């Protein structure tokens, strides 16, 4: 059944390449959608199913709305990209306190694990700190934009980002939520 799903996903991907223009297929949305389609065919989970609204609210200590799929629908399937989920304060989806969970799918020839390892590469101005006791391997990335936790368990990879709190609180919240996600992988 997995093989049939993968064949169907690849067929849809190829049909999209034939039907779409070369410029359109180079856009990030198409790359992510194609990777998501293949990831979904391999049996990966729906990001919004890995954390509950009540659990996110409890960890953040504020009322949080239900998880939703930001970014619109895939041009291949017409369905939302289920690899990315966001829980936000009601009425304040972008600037307030929120959590984003991103399950890594393959992009091009890169597997999720290769993407995880590539993200470890040092970059000037961005601090990458290993963390123990979370999955098989994990590290925080702190940039001027946010603090995120990247986690690998077997062939599964995800990152989780908490917004709207001081960095030390964010790291603790991300670690707690990552453990919850790992329990469901």
Per-residue DSSP letters for 106-173?
-BTTB-HHHHHHHHTS-BTTBEEEE-SSSSSEEEEEE-SS-EEEEEEETTEEEEEEEESS-HHHHHHH
Cβ neighbors of 162 (< 8 A, separation 6 or more) are 60, 97, 98, 99, 147, 169, 170, 173, 174, 177
Q: For the domain covering 45-184, report its CATH number.
A: 3.40.1000
CB contact at 8 A, 150 and 116: yes
Residue 1 has pLDDT above 50, yes or no: no
Residue-wise pLDDT tens digits, 64-80 = 999 998 877 777 777 77
Q: Classify residue 61 by burial, with Cβ atoms within 10 Å: 0-12, 13-18, 19+.
A: exposed
Q: In angstroms, how far is CA 103 from the centroid of its own chain?
A: 3
- Tell me whether strands 98-103 and 156-163 are parallel, antiparallel or unpaired: antiparallel
Residue 36 has pLDDT above 90, yes or no: no
Q: Model pTM?
A: 0.74
Residue 90 carries which DSSP code?
A: T
- Tell me whether strands 98-103 and 84-88 are parallel, antiparallel or unpaired: antiparallel
Residue 130 has pLDDT above 80, yes or no: yes
For residue 1, give the H/E element and its range. none
Residue-wise pLDDT tens digits, 74-114 = 777 777 788 999 999 988 766 789 999 999 999 999 999 99
């Amino acid at each position: 059944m997995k093989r049939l799903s993968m064949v169907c996903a690849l067929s849809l991907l190829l049909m999209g390449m034939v039907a779409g223009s070369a410029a359109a297929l180079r856009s990030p949305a198409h790359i992510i959608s194609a990777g998501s389609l293949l990831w979904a065919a391999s049996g990966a989970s729906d990001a919004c199913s890995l954390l509950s609204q009540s659990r996110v609210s409890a960890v953040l200590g504020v009322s949080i709305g239900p998880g939703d799929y930001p970014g619109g629908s895939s041009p291949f399937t017409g369905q939302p990209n289920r690899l990315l989920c966001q829980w936000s304060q009601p009425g304040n989806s972008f600037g307030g306190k929120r959590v984003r969970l991103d399950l890594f799918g393959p992009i091009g020839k890169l597997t999720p694990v290769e993407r995880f390892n590539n993200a470890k590469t040092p970059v000037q101005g961005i601090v990458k700190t290993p963390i123990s006791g979370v999955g098989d391997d994990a590290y925080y990335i702190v940039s001027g934009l946010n603090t995120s936790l990247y986690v690998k368990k077997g062939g599964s990879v995800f990152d989780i980002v908490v917004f709207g709190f001081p960095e030390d609180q964010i790291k603790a919240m991300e670690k707690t939520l990552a453990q919850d996600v790992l329990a469901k992988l």
